[in-house]
Structure 1
Amino acid sequence: MTEQFDTQKARAAGWFRQLRDDIVAAFEALEASHGAGPMSDDEPGAFEVIETKRTSEDGSDAGGGLMSVMRGGRVFEKVGVNISTVYGTLGERAQMAMAARKGIPGMKDDPRFWASGISLVAHMQNPHCPAVHMNTRMFWTPHAWWFGGGSDLNPCIEYADDTAHFHATQKAHLDPHGADHYPKLKAWADEYFYIPHRNRARGVGGIFMDDLCTGDWQKDFTLTQDIGRAFLPAYVPLVEKRRVQPWDADHKDRQLVHRGLYAEYNLVYDRGTKFGLETGHDANAVLMSLPPLAKWH
């Protein structure tokens, strides 16, 4: 059984790395097509890749990953595409949170964990281009395993046709897994990405799931892969359409105010942010999602 889990964990981590590579290549192509020629390594707008490390409380190696961030691009003002594979033992607070949410028995006696995933957030130069978030992940303990993730669109200036395309593409990737998947995951995203203290959603939604474990690892992994595969065809056409649209100071002001909502949500409510900081992962990687500039009225 241990060998089987090791194989499954390696497959999941390998998939997240491949998805990261595909997205980075697609975003680099967007940057190169929006100006004169390809990016050089030292030109503003090129991805900077930094290896991240997680250290356990006793100072031993506990995994890490890659933080790939582009700043000051022609299309992307700031975009991060991170992957990580971390492991070790969960602290008492993390154990309690996991046990309470997932009903996992025996965690106190054996608090080992392993987690791998990809996390992406893009903040755009042109206010007409929507910001976006995507992540998929696998979590394992000796007592359970599960998948989670999704993607959601965060425009500061909403366009109904962009929202329709984003959702339709995700639905098309989920429908082969059952007609009930898209409406369930859409409703989950609407609930999860809601900002109670503002009485509003963070954006125009998308899909989201957490704690997915049907007992069929391959089935759940395939669904997780298709959530990842939906991202580029759902998002890239929107950027290609909006990146050349004229904008003015009022549009930019609306963008910066909307980014304030994004920052509030990620710092106050986001589970991934809380888990990453609580378990000692690289703080810069965890907080990569924050926008470079934001504004509050």
Structure 2
Amino acid sequence: MSQRKTASNPKANTAREIIEGLQRYFVSELSLQGERLSTDFAAFKPVEWLRDEGLHGGGVRYMAQDALFNRASVNMSQVFYEDLDDKPLNSATAISTIIHPEHARTPSIHMHISWTELKSGEGYWRLMADLNPAIGNENDKQLFAQALQNASGSLYAEGSNQGDRYFYIPALERHRGVTHFYLEQFDSGDWQSDCELAQRFGRAAIDAYCTLFYSAQQESAPITAEEKQQQLDYHTLYFLQVLTLDRGTTSGLLSHSHNDVGTLGSIPKHINRDLLASWVDKVPAPQESLLNAFLTILPTQSVVEVDDEVKLQLANAVRVFYKQFPAAIDLQARGNIVPPTMQNHGVK
């Protein structure tokens, strides 16, 4: 049986310890809230994936198997090419997580923290966190933003500005979420301080979100049909942003096909196909071809389920599209810096 190996570089190992610690902490805190909310709460289940049968790493994601979650995935990965001279990347270690609650008034969260180290010796962190409600709540927004600001200090203004730029959807003239933070290629020159920042930032986002998660579901007012429709429509917007604009998702799909289901773990369970189709004429060329390819894959009913088989087909459609229209990558979201992720993996 193949085993997942880990990088030998000391900094990569330190980053892996930080990332694995954040993963354990988030799963533990979400499980604690789940147990408080439901006597029938089912534990998160681990799913492992391997890069080159584990020779070059891989990862494990914890998936929710519970009625509290529409989709919940807490992913940790470490990919490394220490033995491959033709690849610029030495190692990449990351936690990438998305939580979509079933409760319509409970916001979703996306968080990504990663350490990338090149064979040149250059290394940097990426810090991302954003709150994504289907139904806005100003108090939630302020609490989450304040937690990120407290954790990042003087870096908050830069991270917030880059986040607002990255998560903007030009075709719909709106942002994906309500508060965003994104720092790309961050390296202060103080390795220990940067490690502490990554850990502090991750725990702050997790603590703030778990507070919001529990609080929202304690409300006594039942969810209305209108609110469920708002949630479905928002999940459709999320689908659009992830599959047509999110540079990290696209880079992951184009770099390898070993973890397509995990890479698309951020996609909600159900979307409004009719609403998605109404956006074909709004996206810039040639993205309408990509959106039409998705519509061909999706079942024809108005409300469709995006299961694992559909995810595999969507992932392949993305690869086919960018092979045909490589310049379309320039339409992807960006902060102030465009990371050379695919080049680092040796993808031309």
TM-score interval for Structure 1 and Structure 2 normalised by the shorter chain? 0.7 to 0.9
Which residue of 58, 61, 73 corresponds with 1:64?
Answer: 58
- How many pairs were matched up? 263
Structure-2 separation of matches of 1:78 and 1:25 = 17
For normalisation by structure 1, the TM-score amounts to 0.83
2:26 is equivalent to residue 50 of structure 1: no
Instruction: After superposing the two structures, state which structure 1 stretch, 159-168 or 271-280, moved more.
Output: 271-280
Equivalent position amino acid for 1:139 in 2: T
Which residue of 98, 104, 121 corresponds with 1:127?
Answer: 104
Structure-2 separation of matches of 1:239 and 1:276 = 29
Shift of 1:219: 2.5
Structure 1 residues without counterparts, runs of 5 or longer: 40-44, 92-107
Q: State the Cα deviation string for residues 39-70 of structure 1 (Å, max 9, x = none).
A: 4xxxxx43121111112xxx782210101111
Structure-1 separation of matches of 2:54 and 2:73 = 27
Question: 1:246-285 to 2 correspondence within 5 Å?
Answer: 246-280=222-256, 281-285=258-262
Which residue of 69, 79, 82 corresponds with 1:76?
Answer: 69
Structure 1 residue aligned with 2:32: 29
Q: State the Cα deviation string for residues 86-117 of structure 1 (Å, max 9, x = none).
A: 1228x9xxxxxxxxxxxxxxxx9762431001
Check conservation: 1:34, 1:74, Cα contact below 8 A. Answer: no
Secondary structure at 1:288 match in 2: coil
Matched residues, percent identical?
28
Which residue of 164, 174, 193 corresponds with 2:142?
Answer: 164
Structure 2 residues without counterparts, runs of 5 or longer: 1-7, 276-348
Question: 1:169-208 to 2 correspondence within 5 Å?
Answer: 169-175=147-153, 179=154, 181-208=155-182
Structure-1 separation of matches of 2:209 and 2:88 = 38
Secondary structure at 2:64 match in 1: strand
Q: Where in structure 1 do 4 or more consecutive aligned residues deviate above 4 Å?
A: none
Check conservation: 1:120, 1:135, Cα contact below 8 A. Answer: yes
Change in Cα spacing, 1:60 to 1:155, as seen in structure 2 (3 Å) is closer
Check conservation: 1:16, 1:117, Cα contact below 8 A. Answer: yes
Structure-1 separation of matches of 2:54 and 2:63 = 27
Equivalent position amino acid for 2:138 in 1: A
Equivalent position amino acid for 2:159 in 1: L
Which residue of 6, 18, 22 corresponds with 1:19?
Answer: 22
Flag the structure with higher strand content.
1
For normalisation by structure 2, the TM-score amounts to 0.71
Equivalent position amino acid for 1:257 in 2: D
Check conservation: 2:167, 2:180, Cα contact below 8 A. Answer: no
Change in Cα spacing, 1:112 to 1:170, as seen in structure 2 (3 Å) is closer
Change in Cα spacing, 1:145 to 1:292, as seen in structure 2 (3 Å) is same
Check conservation: 1:31, 1:74, Cα contact below 8 A. Answer: no
